[in-house]
Amino acid sequence: MTQTQRTQKGGDRNAQPTEDAKRKVRNRRFVWIGAGVVGLALLVGFLFTAPTPEGAAVVEGEASAGASAPSVEMVGFGGETVALADYAGTPVVLNFWASWCPFCVAEMPHFEDVSKAHADEVVFVGVNLQDDAGAADGLAIETGVTYQLARDPQGVVYNAFGGIGMPTTVFIDADGVVAEVVTGQLSQEGLEARIDQHFGAGA
């Protein structure tokens, strides 16, 4: 064997590990890229399926006057579940309020009086919006309201009903259709008039 042949043969042996090393590098790159894609997919899946924060309201759909009210579930002040579906067949007055809203505080005693006057015909639900729980509980005691109270800590229920100011009151008829959304404080007479208008005289 000549020197040239030995050199060429030796050169071939030296080149082989280099090609193997390149393949290993490429394989490692594919593994890392694949792992990155899988990791990204898992992250996106977690973000879209992350559990609802404890105490948060759950809403499906959006409402507008003349359309069906969305499906709503909230946590009541006593820890119970408050669902609009539970009141199917009965008119509902949904009132959004907060301890930081002076107009809400002013109208709450009127809502209490009217809710008692129509206790057998209309359901009143007071929805506390993005409020400190202690302050909300204290105000409920102070104003003496006895109708159902629930919390909307993230404002998802308020947004679903198109709230643009506080207080906001939603009138939902017995068929579950939104009759009117009122922004601003209601007097006792104004509340009575709307109940008569949307739910029928003496409703």
For the stretch 127-149, pLDDT in tens is: 999 999 999 999 999 999 999 99
Looking at the DSSP bridge assignments, the partners of residue 171 are 93, 180
For residue 54, is pLDDT > 90?
no
Rounded to 10 deg, the angle between the 102-117 and 188-199 helix axes is 50
Indicate the pLDDT class of residue 16, thresholds 50, 70 and 90: low
Q: How far apart are CA 200 and CA 184, in angstroms?
A: 23
Q: What dotted CATH number matches 58-199? A: 3.40.30.10
The first and second tokens of residue 71, run together, are 């499906």
> In 37-65, which positions are buried (b, 16+ CB within 10 angstroms) versus exposed (e)?
eeeeeeeeeeeeeeeeeeebbebeeebee
Indicate the pLDDT class of residue 8, thresholds 50, 70 and 90: very low
Domain assignments of the chain as residue spans, ordered by start: 1-50, 58-199
3 state DSSP class of 100 = coil
For residue 200, is pLDDT > 80?
yes
